[in-house]
Amino acid sequence: MADYKAPLRDMRFVLNEVFEVAKLWAELPAIAEVVDEETAAAILEEAGKVTAGVIAPLNRSGDEEGCGWTDGVVNTPAGFPAAYKAYSEGGWVGVGGDPQFGGMGMPKAISAQVEEMVNSANLSFGLYPMLTAGACLSINAHASEELKEAYLPNMYSGAWAGSMCLTEPHAGTDLGIIRTKAEPQADGSYSISGTKIFITGGEHDLSENIIHLVLAKLPDAPAGPKGISLFLVPKFMVNADGSLGAKNSLSCGSIEHKMGIKASATCVMNFDGAIGYIIDAPNKGLNAMFTMMNYERLGVGVQGLALGERSYQNAIEYARDRIQSRAPTGPVAKDKVADPIIVHPDVRRMLLTMKALNEGGRAFSSYVAMQLDTAKFSEDAATRKRAEELVALLTPVAKAFLTDMGLETTVHGQQIFGGHGFIREWGQEQLIRDCRITQIYEGTNGIQSLDLVGRKIVGNGGAMYTLFADEIKTFIGSADASLAEFVEPLKAAINNLDELSAWLLNSAKTNPNEIGAASVEYLQVFGYTAYAYMWALMARTALAKQEQDEFYVSKLGTARFYFARLLPRIHSLTASVKAGSESLYLLDAAQF
């Protein structure tokens, strides 16, 4: 496997040249106080060093060894505790955390790049700080000042970790039917009892304490999702002076044996009258949870991008070195018995597909991150509302499309390696195994598609969609003739998406099955169209600078490939949507 190198040049291109993110930061005083373009560059440079030098070398060994569980004690693979200590001491766990409690205070546009780097280096490792950051988001947004002061500083520092305890054996997507109970106590705390499964980082040896956020129901809670509350449940109780006290009444019953992310401890957690503290108000747990979800679902999308980037780095190095057969037009490496496989059209097709999807995905994830920053920090109500609606619309696309494209990209990388891609020593097969979970957790991609179509398109009559579509059309209208080769196919794509959205809105009025039948393919059409917008934006920048650097020439060539070979996928997907739901119901259950 090639040594991982953070794609800092491309990150700077997207943030500074395409989106000119410093202009956004200047309009957001809370961000302007802590970061500028120079500071951001230094942070990303240092993140690249720690992820490549400290974390990436543990990726394969961690996969081979995995986590161990003995009588409730979980051990992470060799090297993980020391690497986590180094990562924590660098302040990376709290890179996006509130400065009031010791975080760096970086905007999501920066922390998303750091997430990409750590997950490219080692996805299993990256999950531990990711879950801590997610728990911190909910605590900071919804908990009392007392809880924030008691828990956030040690969580941002990495001394304490966090987990999110949502899923139960019988309740995954349908959280309204959870059974974990919370009994009020005389001192204002709650007694938490129940079992949670698939809990990432529920138990491990990386930190001295683990702070669990647990969904549970109060005795008088209404049925369904409206009766869910969220509780902070520490592994070790915290004394008044901040020191650790007795162990709480909770335990890790086992860890899962998984297809991938084997160095990430995925735990069964048992709560047996554990002491917990309510976050926000009774029966408001889903509100607190979804504060975290918009960030974490983008984060999972970035995981797909990250693994695609690692796959590309491996594949391009292999394709330049591996010699096999001659180019169709005749020998290229005349001093060798065969040419490097990068000369072959099919290998180039796969490499360019990977490159185009990765770079389009990086631009799209950064765009969504900027909307999150605007929604959180803008002092203008109308600007904040617009960003919030774009976040709601684009979050399911970011999670599902980025991870779907991530899996495609890891598979292409394996294919370029041929038989060596199927062998563990080369590392390519691990990337596929690790990537597969990204399409499943934090809400499966099918659920993300239903969320997009059911809630964000049909549910509000297409109003959120119109915001995004109008932005693209404004860009198209402002483009000059030099951009025609990119703008014309983008215009056709957004017109197609307009028509498809209208078809869906109309069809759903008479047949509710159309929403579920269309959702996955519709999200894919949306994703390819969104990437086309990103590529047109990048092409505009690259076109103006192509005389300066080969980087921009490469960017333009990749843009042309995207529009010529990848964007046309929308046509077959559109036809599938318009085929309707009827064919899905031709068989009775017994006929399958």
340 φ/ψ angles, rounded to the nearest 5 degrees: -60, 145
End-to-end CA gap in the chain: 43
Determine the Cα–Cα distance for residues 283 and 220; give it in Å rounded to an integer.
Answer: 10
Q: How far apart are CA 213 and CA 468, in angstroms?
A: 34
Q: Which residues are catalytic?
A: 442
What tokens does 493 get?
Answer: 């794509």
* SS3 call for 475: helix
Beta carbons within 8 Å of 534's beta carbon, 6+ residues apart: 360, 363, 364, 367
Are residues 566 and 528 in contact, defined by beta-carbon separation less than 8 angstroms?
yes
Contact 161, 155 (CB under 8 A): yes
200 forms beta bridges with 266
Nearest to 98, CA basis, from 168, 31, 174, 144:
31
State the greatest distance between any 2 C-alpha atoms of the chain, in Å, as a whole number: 84
DSSP states along 275-339: EEEEESSTT-HHHHHHHHHHHHHHHHHHHHHHHHHHHHHHHHHHHHH-B-S--TTS-SSTTSSS-
How many whole angstroms separate alpha carbon 444 and alpha carbon 532?
24
DSSP 226: G
Give the three-class secondary structure for 265: coil
CB 349, CB 558: distance < 8 Å: no
Element (H, E) at 251: strand 250-255
Question: Residue 240 contacts by C-beta under 8 Å, 6 or more apart in sequence?
Answer: none
